[in-house]
A and B are shown apart, each in its own frame.
Chain A
Amino acid sequence: MNENEIETDYLLKNLNICDNKEEKMWLTNAKKRFEMFYQEVREQPLSSLIRAMEIKCRRLQPIFPQFFEIRWRYVTANVGSCFLIKDVGIFVINIPLSIKGKEFEIRNLVAHEIGHLYSTVVSLEREYFSEKGEFIGDVGESLKFLRDCLNSENLDKEKTESYHKRATMIGIFALNERSKFYKHRMPLNERSFCKSFRQIADDFKRW
Chain B
Amino acid sequence: MLEKRTSSLLVVKAIKACSSKKALNTVFKEYGISKLEQRIKLLLKAMGNPSVSYSDCFPPARERYNTIVDTHFSGILRKDYYSWISKGKKK
A residues adjacent to B (C-beta < 8 A):
65-67, 69, 71, 73, 75-87, 89-90, 92, 94, 109, 112-113, 116, 146-153, 157, 160-161, 163-164, 167
Chain B positions 24 through 67: 1 when the CB is less than 8 Å from some CB of chain A, otherwise 0:
00000000000000001100100011111111111100011011
Contact A151 B51 (CB under 8 A): yes
Can you name the residue of chain A whose Cβ is closest to the Cβ of B82?
A90
Residues of chain B with a CB closer than 8 A to A160's CB:
57-58
Contact A92 B66 (CB under 8 A): no
- Minimum CB–CB distance from A65 to chain B (whole Å) comes to 7
Contact B63 A83 (CB under 8 A): no
Contact B57 A81 (CB under 8 A): no
Q: Please name 13 pairs of A and B residues whose Cβ atoms are closer than 8 Å in the assembled complex, sorted by A.
A: A67-B86, A80-B54, A81-B54, A83-B50, A83-B71, A85-B77, A86-B49, A87-B79, A92-B76, A116-B53, A146-B51, A148-B51, A167-B53
Contact B76 A152 (CB under 8 A): no
- Minimum CB–CB distance from A165 to chain B (whole Å) comes to 8
- Minimum CB–CB distance from B71 to chain A (whole Å) comes to 6
Can you name the residue of chain B whose Cβ is closest to the Cβ of A116?
B53
Interface residues on B, range: 20 to 34
Residues of chain B with a CB closer than 8 A to A89's CB:
82, 85-86
Residues of chain B with a CB closer than 8 A to A66's CB:
86
Q: Is B19 an interface residue when CB atoms closer than 8 A count as contact?
A: no
Q: Is B6 an interface residue when CB atoms closer than 8 A count as contact?
A: no
Residues of chain B with a CB closer than 8 A to A92's CB:
71, 76-77
Q: How far is the CA of A82 from the CA of B71 in the complex (A)?
A: 10
Q: Tell me the B60-91 residues at the A interface (CB within 8 Å).
A: 63-64, 66-67, 70-71, 74, 76-77, 79, 82, 85-86
- Minimum CB–CB distance from B25 to chain A (whole Å) comes to 16
Contact A109 B55 (CB under 8 A): yes
Residues of chain A with a CB closer than 8 A to B66's CB:
76-78
Can you name the residue of chain B whose Cβ is closest to the Cβ of A148?
B51
Contact B77 A150 (CB under 8 A): no
Contact B82 A77 (CB under 8 A): no
- Minimum CB–CB distance from B49 to chain A (whole Å) comes to 6
Q: How far is the CA of A76 from the CA of B57 in the complex (A)?
A: 19
Q: How far is the CA of A99 from the CA of B25 in the complex (A)?
A: 27
- Minimum CB–CB distance from A111 to chain B (whole Å) comes to 10
- Minimum CB–CB distance from A171 to chain B (whole Å) comes to 10
